[in-house]
Amino acid sequence: MKKSLLALAIFTLLAGCAKPPIIPQDEVKSEINQTEKAVEITPAPTPAEKVESAEPGTPVVLSDSDLKDMNIFFSNFSEAFFREYTEKTTDEEIVLFAMCHNRVNYYDRWSYEDSYEVIDATHISNTIDRFFDIKIQFKSTNNYEFKNNKFYVPAASGEQYLGFSQVESIMKNGDILVVRLIDFQYDNSDDLHGDFDKKAYEPMKNWSANLSKRCTRGDTATAAVKTANINGKNTYQLLSLRKD
């Protein structure tokens, strides 16, 4: 499947760079013995509370639904070839990730001017705020031009890379979650429509035999994230990411 994708141009640049509701808590007091301690009904924890209540150094076990959400979170990075986030990561690399994320997932945010694809800086800023707990100052680089609160990138065409990630394990270390990841590539070569099967975001144990054949295991990585609430939604923000 060939499309006009800014993603591949950005990928090349990056490659060379080193819910459930809470049950109200009730107290049931004995009318016979006033000295008897109140009985508390433990509320059902939300995904974020499951993380916060885990003991340091112990595994965190999520439901299939919550694990799917975490797989989608990390797949945002793998589909953009963003596989390392350390103290050496530059502002430019962060901007390129945000561009690629918007190109792959929000095509309608882009427009064309001459031989450039253009996106409003607000979308790039919002993406950075969503995935990272950082602030950066925008400026032009050799790979894109920043002017009039917009980013201009040379238009490119190529094949879409259908990459995604699966969470292998989660450990809690203080307020940080340390996550082991497995990268996969989805093969859609014999698919009539060439679409990515979003069931690949489900935990691997739920994959069908046909889906398993389409998914090729790649590298592993280790990430650190923290829980965050972005626009009223419980999610995560990336603190570090390293390929193993």
Q: What is the per-residue pLDDT across 220-240, written as a single tens digit (0 to 9) for each?
A: 999 999 999 998 999 999 999
Q: Are residues 231 and 169 in the same domain?
A: yes
Overall number of domains in the chain: 2
Q: Are residues 100 and 13 in the same domain?
A: yes
Q: Are residues 97 and 212 in the same domain?
A: no
Q: Are residues 225 and 123 in the same domain?
A: no
pLDDT at 55: 62
pLDDT at 3: 40
Name which of 239, 234, 241, 243 is nearest 48 in CA terms. 234
pLDDT at 187: 83
- Name the pLDDT band for 4 (thresholds 50, 70, 90): very low
Q: Which domain holds residue 126?
A: 2-18+88-158
Phi, psi of 82 (to 5 degrees): -95, 95
Average pLDDT over residues 47-68: 77
Q: How far is CA 8 from CA 48, 65, 96, 160, 201, in A?
A: 34, 31, 11, 7, 22
Is 0.85 surpassed by the pTM of this model?
no
- In the numeric block, which tokens belong to residue 172? 């809690």
pLDDT at 174: 86
Query: pLDDT (tens digit, 9 = 90+) per residue, 88-128?
Result: 999 999 999 999 999 989 999 999 999 999 999 999 999 99
Domain boundary among 109, 135, 158: 158
With respect to residue 29, please indicate whether it lies within any of the assigned structural domains. Answer: no
Phi, psi of 133 (to 5 degrees): -100, 65
